Structure 1
Amino acid sequence: MIGFAIVCCGPGPRSRKRSVTAIRALKILRSNSASAAVSFVASAPAEDSGSALDFLVRNAPDIDSAETLFGAHSNPSAVSYTTLMQSYIRSGDVNGAEEVWKRMLAGSVQPDIVTYNVMMSAYAKKSDFIAVERKFEELQENGLSPDVVTYNTLMRSVRDVDIGRVWKYFDNMVERGVLPSDITFSTIIDAVGKDGDLSPLPELPSMMRAYNVHPNIFIYTAVMSIYSRAGDTRNVRHWFNSMSEFGIRPNVVAYGILLDCLCKAGASEEAEGYFEQMGKDGIQLNEKILTVMMRIRSDQGDVNGVKELFGLLENPRLFRYNVLIHALGMNGNIPEATELLETMKANGVTPDVVTFNTMMKMRAATGDLEGVKAFYEAISKNGLVADGFSRSILMDALGDAGELEQAMAVELLPSDVVPRTIKLRIASDHGDVTSVKRTFGEAPSSYTADSMFLVRAYARKGDWQMASKVYNSEPVTRSRLTSYLRLLGESGNVSHITRAMESARKSDIGVTEEMVAALIDAYGVDGQLDSARETLTSMEELFGIVPTIISYTALMGVQRTRKGRHDVLELLFSNGLDAVETIFRVMWSAAIEEGDLDDAAAVIELMREHRLLPHVSLYNKLIVAFGNKRDLVNVEAMVAKMKKAGMRPSVVTYNALMDAFGKTLRSPVAGERLLNDMHSSGVAPDAVTFNTLAAIYARCADPDGVNDVVARMEQQNILPDKFTYSNIITANRRAGRADQAQEASEQARAMGILL
């Protein structure tokens, strides 16, 4: 933005009113040749020829034409030479411009301030500040006075490397009585941004007022960009809102910077407010704005909102498809995401590794290991190369499924530091000491093995003697001690943690909040809940540490009753802290683990009261849990609350509903109604949907109903799996059709489906 302003307002020959001769000559130049244009100008009145030739040189298509036109001058002036220099500079030939300078001096024509400014600007663009300063000294030696363009060029030449010189030139300019312009302050802003010390920025508006410079939209967007890069949302917002003081209306660039910053800060509600204000201000949406808002809505699980914005894009590019696929995945709409993948291919948009990684991640979220594997294989089938993130998702999915051997067999590249860490984490979580050691051995020399993974593996294996031996084999650091205390906390070893913290307090390591959190965890595991709470409330007194959300989350995690959890939340609020999503998720998980579904539902409502948007998965898991308890009243209540929160039921939601109604009512009527609702709502059923409906028919001993479901399943290009055949067999057996059941069993085995 700043660079654009400098180019537009940069040094150049004095503007002259274009004569009729010049305009006609330009048409000849463009349609014929430089020689023809020269002939035409030669026939024009003498008073027009000089300015017309300068105008033609400025618009010449190449250097040869420019030289031909310049050569037609009978007595070239400083303006004429300067114009020719600019032609060389535009073509990237600064040395050629210097040769014109020498010709100018040889012709006894003295350069003026504009000539100097042109050459200084050329050197500034090449970041040759030594040449810029040399010209600056030369113009003063020749009795010329530098103007604001001269100083702006000087400042621009060093803004990337030396902000001290920028301020020195500014002070020198002011001392000489040369008033700064908006370009001066744009250059200063750019220099401050590159320097990294942003403390001068708040003073700039008052400085500009002092020199009677009216800030423009470019000034404000430049400052906002700097604060945005620094992640300073507060100042981005402040500068955006303060534009009105100077009567400046925000443009699409300003809105784009603000919305992008709010997106990164997770301030989705505020971003939506500004997005709405854009419409009121009549600001035309562009692709960047739409993309940022898609990301915001995607992160909030607002898939319909993402779709709405996606529909405004004329020719969506790959990144936009990826954002929508991500939103669909977050909302559990895996079939629709898969369909979108095919749509983008049909529209000539080739998926990249990010696309397939997103598909893998959403499959992993539902525990669909086979789906994760299929999309991992699809990466190479589409001529792409899996990246570290691909391997990380695959290994995590294998680890979650208990497929430790397969997870350890995933081949890594030397650069795969993150996937290697994940492999070590999975192995250490399972107490697989051998795999941890083997992975260390496979690591490239550039990778620093963290022995704490080996300590963790021994600890999870229950071999604390070896865990302690490996831990003590290396110097104790703060991070190693913290990791070790976490392991001790998981085992409830209060005495060992207490001794270790006492040693840390007496050493240079010191006690951190993470260490105290490990002690709280240990008290909880050991059943000493009063001691856990007392540790938190006396942290500041005992350790000089003010408790933050870290300690409260630890205390929340060890509570075993609804009252205990809500007491921790009240304690957090009474100490002036704001609850974050993490602590609510801990509350929710604990309630689910205990089977206290009413409390889990209450936690979701608490999240909404505190302006936190619960993920759709929380609602879906509760619907499943209530369904398993045959509690249809709460099943329907959760769906209603989900819709009230602005979330659209996903295929996972419908599957959970269908399963709940099927198990409770033992009638396929509700399941068929839900399937119709899915079609009318645009939610595509998946294999789980049809298998759930088929299971209802199977429980009702209705093999014809099951066969009908399988037929509809195949119409949707969804292949029957082992669950489908299990339903076919069960339905036939219950209906007394032993032959048909046997036939289905043999067919399944023939297809390689093991039942």
Structure 2
Amino acid sequence: SEEVFNKMKDLGFPVTVFAINQLLLLYKRVDKKKIADVLAKMEKENVKPSLFTYKLLVDTKGAIRDIAGMEKVVESMQAEGVEPDLLFQATIAKHYIFAGHREKAEAILESMEGGDIKGNRNACKILLPLYAFLGKKDDVERMWQVCEANPRLDECLSAIESFGRLGDVERAEKVFEDMFATWKTLSSKFYNALMKVYADQNLFKKGKELAKRMDEDGCRLGISTIDSLVKLYVGAGEVDKAESILHKLSKSNKMKPQYSSYLMLLDTYSKKGDIHNSEKVFDQLRQMGYNGRVRQYQLLLNAYVHAKTPVYGFRERMKADNIFPNSVIASLLAATDPFNKKKTLSDMLE
């Protein structure tokens, strides 16, 4: 992307806000430190930010809990006269919720509703999960009542996820089953939404039954389905079965499993002090291209701690992968270092 951008400049093409947004989107995913450079370039080229530019910046600030920084972006946007849409407001509200600013979030949700939610129905599918994040069941019900008599597919999906997040499994199931009265067949994403509800609530039997139903109904099992099945089996204490399902289904469906699927297995083996299987899953993560992430190294080290076994050459392994220890990993390395007499493994486990 950088090469294409620079080539466009060399060829004399004007720097557009679209091109800038693509760079921001890239750096938001891979290297947030470079965002400041892109913004400086934007100012130098006198390119005005679009609503999408502000969305990216707000989401980037909010993701690291920089609420003050997020609010400054919003102020800049308002000063430029750029009007927020519902999704922009939802992004701000979501970050307020996760940062613990409930009152600020509620004020935005009230603004999103407008004076009459029935006349502003498009907001319902966006508001449903936000009220669920806040744990406001009555408001989730209120949003759903606007849609329930004549629901749209995206509203149903939002309702299943929202009721599930509140732990109201029966309500989520009812939304799912009622859909068949309007649509005779459903795509796999609706089954996946209910499967995730079962996984989050640790409803093993219901999850297995839904998986069989998906197969009977001809639904393709996606990576999110596999992730939920892994979570169900791990929660039921059947980690070996979970690992088997992960490999068989991802291979037969020719899919790359989610990072979280492997992490659940690694976490479980780690807590058991099962070094062999922890190393095996760690190696599978690398084979799948999931390297360069600190969390997997931390879990692998935990396996050695729980097994009360020293580990050799781990710093070198991390260095080879360009991973640098954080404070947690540093303490684990000290605990598993066979030459460190100051802190024993037993000390770490007490």
State if a TM-score over 0.5 links the two structures. Answer: yes
* C-alpha displacement of 1:81: 2.1
* C-alpha displacement of 1:78: 5.0
Report if the CA contact (8 A) 1:85-1:101 is conserved. yes
Query: Which residue number corresponds to residue 113 of structure 2?
Result: 70
* C-alpha displacement of 1:208: 0.8
Query: Which residue number corresponds to residue 205 of structure 1?
Result: 247
Query: Which residue number corresponds to residue 248 of structure 1?
Result: 290
**Paired residue type of 1:205:** H
* C-alpha displacement of 1:277: 0.8
Report if the CA contact (8 A) 2:305-2:332 is conserved. yes
Query: Which residue number corresponds to residue 89 of structure 2?
Result: 56
TM, length-normalised to structure 2: 0.65
Select 1:120's aligned residue among 140, 151, 160: 160
Query: Which residue number corresponds to residue 469 of structure 1?
Result: none
Structure 1's 74 and 207: CA in aligned 2 closer, same or farther, altered over 3 A?
closer
Report if the CA contact (8 A) 1:78-1:112 is conserved. no
Matches within 5 A, 1:178-327: 178-203=219-244, 204-249=246-291, 251-268=293-310, 271-297=311-337, 300=338, 302-303=340-341, 323=343
Report if the CA contact (8 A) 2:125-2:158 is conserved. yes
Structure 1's 240 and 65: CA in aligned 2 closer, same or farther, altered over 3 A?
closer
Query: Which residue number corresponds to residue 136 of structure 1?
Result: 176
Matches within 5 A, 1:464-613: none
* C-alpha displacement of 1:77: 6.3
Distance 1:75 1:157 in 2: 28
Structure 1's 183 and 52: CA in aligned 2 closer, same or farther, altered over 3 A?
same
* C-alpha displacement of 1:130: 1.7
Report if the CA contact (8 A) 1:21-1:52 is conserved. no
Question: What does the per-residue CA deviation read over 1:721-751, in whole Å, with 9 as the maximum and x for residues that have no partner?
Answer: xxxxxxxxxxxxxxxxxxxxxxxxxxxxxxx
Distance 2:241 2:117 in 1: 53
**Paired residue type of 1:276:** E
* C-alpha displacement of 1:28: 11
Structure 1's 284 and 146: CA in aligned 2 closer, same or farther, altered over 3 A?
farther
Select 1:86's aligned residue among 129, 132, 147: 129
Structure 1's 120 and 236: CA in aligned 2 closer, same or farther, altered over 3 A?
same
Distance 2:240 2:143 in 1: 44
Matches within 5 A, 1:702-721: none
Report if the CA contact (8 A) 1:182-1:215 is conserved. yes
Distance 1:167 1:90 in 2: 27
* C-alpha displacement of 1:98: 1.2
Q: Secondary structure at the match of 2:291?
A: coil
Distance 1:164 1:294 in 2: 43
Matches within 5 A, 1:644-663: none
**Paired residue type of 2:336:** I
**Paired residue type of 1:89:** A
Distance 1:220 1:178 in 2: 23
Task: Determine whether 1:99 maps to 2:139.
Answer: no
Report if the CA contact (8 A) 2:89-2:108 is conserved. no
Query: Which residue number corresponds to residue 209 of structure 2?
Result: 168
Distance 1:253 1:58 in 2: 26
Matches within 5 A, 1:391-410: none
* C-alpha displacement of 1:184: 1.9
* Number of residue pairs aligned between Structure 1 and Structure 2: 273
TM, length-normalised to structure 1: 0.32
**Paired residue type of 1:168:** E
* C-alpha displacement of 1:225: 0.9
CA RMSD for the aligned pairs? Answer: 3.9
Distance 1:28 1:241 in 2: 43
* C-alpha displacement of 1:154: 1.7
Distance 1:288 1:82 in 2: 40
**Paired residue type of 2:288:** F
* C-alpha displacement of 1:115: 1.3
Q: Secondary structure at the match of 2:336?
A: helix
Distance 1:265 1:282 in 2: 26
Question: What does the per-residue CA deviation read over 1:357-377, in whole Å, with 9 as the maximum and x for residues that have no partner?
Answer: xxxxxxxxxxxxxxxxxxxxx
Q: Secondary structure at the match of 1:199?
A: helix
Structure 1's 175 and 77: CA in aligned 2 closer, same or farther, altered over 3 A?
farther
Distance 2:278 2:154 in 1: 38
Question: What does the per-residue CA deviation read over 1:280-316, in whole Å, with 9 as the maximum and x for residues that have no partner?
Answer: 111121122111111123xx4624xx6xxxxxxxxxx
* C-alpha displacement of 1:104: 3.8
* C-alpha displacement of 1:118: 1.6
Question: What does the per-residue CA deviation read over 1:24-55, in whole Å, with 9 as the maximum and x for residues that have no partner?
Answer: 9x9899559xxx99xx89xx8xxxxxx93564
**Paired residue type of 2:247:** P
Distance 1:146 1:20 in 2: 34
Structure 1's 265 and 77: CA in aligned 2 closer, same or farther, altered over 3 A?
same
* C-alpha displacement of 1:150: 2.4
Distance 1:202 1:75 in 2: 47
**Paired residue type of 2:235:** K
Structure 1's 139 and 58: CA in aligned 2 closer, same or farther, altered over 3 A?
farther
Distance 2:85 2:220 in 1: 33
Highest CA radius of gyration, 1 or 2? 1
**Paired residue type of 1:62:** A
Distance 2:261 2:183 in 1: 34
* C-alpha displacement of 1:214: 0.4
**Paired residue type of 2:180:** Q
Q: Secondary structure at the match of 1:62?
A: helix
Report if the CA contact (8 A) 1:22-1:52 is conserved. no
Structure 1's 145 and 29: CA in aligned 2 closer, same or farther, altered over 3 A?
farther
Question: What does the per-residue CA deviation read over 1:500-534, in whole Å, with 9 as the maximum and x for residues that have no partner?
Answer: xxxxxxxxxxxxxxxxxxxxxxxxxxxxxxxxxxx
Structure 1's 83 and 198: CA in aligned 2 closer, same or farther, altered over 3 A?
closer
Residue range with higher mean Cα deviation, 145-154 or 250-259: 145-154
Distance 2:54 2:275 in 1: 51
**Paired residue type of 1:88:** Y
Q: Secondary structure at the match of 2:85?
A: helix
Structure 1's 227 and 55: CA in aligned 2 closer, same or farther, altered over 3 A?
same
Distance 2:285 2:135 in 1: 38
* C-alpha displacement of 1:224: 1.0
Report if the CA contact (8 A) 1:19-1:52 is conserved. no
* C-alpha displacement of 1:275: 3.1
Query: Which residue number corresponds to residue 495 of structure 1?
Result: none
Distance 1:91 1:150 in 2: 23
Q: Secondary structure at the match of 1:283?
A: coil
